[in-house]
Amino acid sequence: MTDLNKKTPAPAAAGSDGSGSEPLLKVEGLVKHFPITKGVLKRKVGAVQAVDGLTFDVRPGETLGVVGESGCGKSTMGRLVTRLLEPTGGKVEFQGRDITHMSAGRLRPMRRDIQMIFQDPYGSLNPRHTVGGIVGTPFRLQGVKPEGGVKAEVQRLLELVGLNPEHYNRYPHEFSGGQRQRIGIARALALKPKLVVADEPVSALDVSIQAQVVNLLDDLQEELGLTYMIIAHDLSVIRHVSDRIAVMYLGKIVELADRTSLYEAPMHPYTNALMSAVPVPDPRRRGAKSERILLKGDVPSPISPPSGCRFHTRCWKATQVCKTTEPPLLQLKTGHQVACHHPENGEDQAPGDAPLVVDVITVKSAVAPEPAEAPESEKASEPEPEPEPEPEPESEPEASEAKESPEPESEPEVSEKAPGPEAPDAEETPEPAASKADGADEAVEADGSDGADEPAAPKGPEGSDGTVPDGSKGSAAPSTGAEGKA
């Protein structure tokens, strides 16, 4: 009869949207900042704003799902609600009682009504204790003596979560991951709590085992009338088990609505981006391109979150007001709350505001020319050596003109005797009188000297070749003399 009494108010509370009954859990402005210290004196130099101003409630018999990216503060929020962590600010009420800063002694009796299923099934179980000791610990700590004894109750709980009663004396290392998670669920249900906070209960399990654990949670809720707050990042799992869904981003709730409204018409741009990433298992859509929204950039650091809306650095609809003013969590539709100045499927809260997309474009344009300017400077420097080789072709025609003057018959002789004039110049320098005996000889020598002076630079390698056949220079001298006599 007690199970039926717990089960009957659940549908009415879930369908009343908060107007029919008092909430089981009520959170207002919940804040948790982890201090950052430095030095020997542990001086505070900053804080990690893990949770910053959460406001929501959980009705009896319903399931509230919490989704978001890794590091957005989901697990921290669950530990604050169960008072495993001390809040920095805000208020937490359970059944109308403020438990925000309640002492451990006064909080101990209330632990029976608030239990938690931890994320890691391997680290949440003591490897030195048997399954019977782990599941029976809540009875010993709370001083509860169940009917039939602790062992009989533990075996009943093991059978309830799908394990054999014979597993009572086994150790955690003898079970698989899914079986360990079932042990954690049995421990959380030992004292028949009213609220169960499940911190990603299926994230470390295989897909087949995930389905088993999710179905188990549904069956236990129907049988025992439990109230769940399930934290996960798998939107498909949350859609299957939740009545209402809260979307978190960087320590804040950006959207809170019932399951149907959120999945059919999401209003926050971040929620819309999350929904576009969920694969649709429909064979008829094979080959069809889905409209996937890709967010640019990374999640900002919770140590120094951006001003205004914390999503404006990655939002394609951000405007100037998003950069300066933080949007409050308002109810724009029945049972649908969103914190956005420009919601997707609702009335614009700040129409006509200047968009921030211009700033993004200007940043891109400033970055793009940098690699383009480098080649321009290189190209500007490249033509500089081009005018340098220009005088070389000018000197070459002069030499060619000098070589063309003595008729085509003498051209092969000049080309062959190019090294020759250098030798007579060196030999004739000490004998200027003999060379100036005839006027014709002077003209020939003058032409040869001009040709020798100009091509001296290019004929440096020829001189190296000429040093090997020394006798050729001597033979070249009488040839010039014969030419002079002719």
Element (H, E) at 448: helix 439-453
Successive 10-residue mean pLDDT values, the chain, 486 residues: 38 43 92 94 92 94 93 93 94 94 90 92 91 94 90 93 92 92 92 93 82 88 92 88 94 95 92 85 70 83 92 91 92 91 83 61 39 45 48 45 44 44 44 44 44 45 45 44 41
pLDDT (0 to 100) of residue 90: 95
Pairing of strands 330-333, 244-249: unpaired
Long-range contact pairs involving 142-146 (C-beta distance under 8 Å, separation at least 24) = 142/108, 142/109, 142/111, 142/112, 142/191, 144/112, 144/191
- Residue 289's pLDDT is 65
Query: DSSP of 49-74, one letter per residue?
Result: EEEEEEEEEE-TT-EEEEE--TTSSH
Q: Say what the pLDDT of residue 335 is.
A: 87
CA angle at residue 58 from 56 to 61, to 5 degrees? 165
Residue type, 270: Y
Number of H helices, E strands in the chain: 21, 12
d(CA 3, CA 185): 19
Supply 122's token pair.
């391997």
Cα–Cα distance between 317 and 356 in angstroms, integer? Answer: 8
| Cβ contacts of 138 within 8 Å, gap of 6 or more | 112, 144, 187, 190, 191
